[in-house]
Amino acid sequence: MSEAAEVEALVIGAGPAGLMAAEVLAGQGARVMVAEAMPTPARKFLMAGKSGLNLTRDEPWAMFVTRYGGSAPRAPDPSTGSGARPPEYLQNEEIGPEAVMAWARGLGVELFTGSTGRVFPVGMKASPLLRAWLARLAGQGVALRTRWRWTGFQGQDWCFEVPGGVALLRPRVVVLALGGASWPRLGSDAAWVPWLAGRGVVVAPFRPANMGFRVAWSAPMARHFGQAAKGVALHVGDRVGRGEWVVTAEGIEGGGIYEVAAAMRDGAEAFVDLAPDLAPEELARRLARAPSKLSVGNRLRRVLGDPLRAALLMEWGRPLPLEPERLAMRAKALHLRHQGAMGIERAISSAGGIAAESLTAALELKALPGVFAAGEMLDWEAPTGGYLLTGCLATGRLAGRGAAAYLAAARR
């Protein structure tokens, strides 16, 4: 295009946050175009749904909202792993789990809640939900443009690389939903940071979130690579993770790690309880009753009932005390020794992004009137388990509402 095309409402990014913003805008009568850099929409959403799409968490709002951190007046205390507060834009029960479940059911998706409170589609997969969502958006008149990569500004125009050349757009309102910096091969490469920072938007540096940790294992641990640590508890400050995690050649990864990863990344020490359902005294009695002719390793395997748990104790608990009481205490509070977080390119999500100080309550960028932002672009983070997706949908809805209100005011 040689001249900038007029667009009423432009959404950049076709992940959950962008599609939700588009849906809200279209529902308010706006003519919406969604520009997506990748060949197909919502690639990270589909990747997340391969092992079962965890939409949200069905738990009391007062508990749910505590799982979010990010732009906050008080940073986490590394000694306790606590202190982070969710940004104001996520402290709205109206856009929490109940709203997400109602929205999914409105698409004709039947849901069920697992024993841990995690909410899934009955079919478990993301693709049926996405197909129904895209069909509804098309019915609302939303125009989806794929392989449209935003490349910054050209004066007051928004510039895109598109199939066959370059497109310039001049929208009346914009919602940015470009993602953070994790899994860049799926489209979230944070290329947008200098373009917004150059226009006065404060962007906190990106860091990995929901990531694994590097561990320099000794040679005997190689036989356990690929095995899952089950029935253990991770204690990091006032956080306790009971989910499974996996030992790999590079370190440790998995849901149980992700529950406490933010505090570990920020410096809090982690301790593993290898027998969380046994009191120290009972564990000591069982260790004392084990045949003395057994080696320490075999004694631990017999009492703990799991070769991996015994191996972790021998790996991280050295030198091992021989007295049953002291050995039991070591097994109940085993210091997790790691060499730091894995890189952001392998992280499920990212911390950092547009700081709350650069946003209005409606998620409008103060430095760019008429431009709103949503999703992982914003400086918030949460563990896996439905919190991430709920946060993206919630901020997309909030930004869509703000953009619709901006358009309505401009029409008057």
Quick one: pLDDT band at residue 73, thresholds 50, 70, 90?
A: very low
Pair 85, 137 in one domain: yes
Question: What is the average per-residue pLDDT within 14-26?
Answer: 98
Using only C-alpha atoms, the chain has a radius of gyration, in whole angstroms, of: 24
What does the pLDDT read at residue 4?
72
Pair 142, 198 in one domain: yes
291 or 271, greater pLDDT: 271
Pair 19, 150 in one domain: yes
Instruction: Report if pTM > 0.85.
Output: yes
What does the pLDDT read at residue 296?
78
What does the pLDDT read at residue 84?
61
Reading phi first (left if > 0) and then psi (alpha if -120 to 50, else beta), residue 281 is in alpha
What does the pLDDT read at residue 20?
98
The CATH number assigned to the domain holding 66 equals: 3.50.50.60
On average, the pLDDT of the chain sits at: 91
Question: What is the average per-residue pLDDT within 24-37?
Answer: 97
Is the pLDDT score of 366 beyond 50? yes
Pair 171, 25 in one domain: yes
How many Cβ atoms are within 10 Å of 322's Cβ, its own excluded?
A: 9
What does the pLDDT read at residue 79?
43
CA dihedral in degrees (359, 360, 365, 370; nearest 10)?
Answer: 170
Displacement of CA 245 from its chain's centroid (Å): 17
Q: Which amino acid is at 347?
A: A
The contacts of residue 97 (CB under 8 Å, 6+ apart) are 56, 57, 58, 59, 61, 64, 119, 386, 390
β-strand partners of 174? 10, 371
Domain that holds residue 284: 213-335
Quick one: pLDDT band at residue 177, thresholds 50, 70, 90?
A: very high
Which of 304, 335, 366 is the last residue before a domain boundary? 335
Pair 268, 162 in one domain: no
Question: What is the average per-residue pLDDT within 51-62?
Answer: 91
Pair 352, 329 in one domain: no
Is the pLDDT score of 243 beyond 80? yes
**Could you tell me the maximum CA-CA distance found in the chain, to the nearest angstrom?**
87
Which of 278, 310, 335 is the last residue before a domain boundary? 335
Which of 335, 361, 384 is the last residue before a domain boundary? 335
Pair 247, 301 in one domain: yes
Number of domains into which the chain is organized? 2
What does the pLDDT read at residue 188?
87
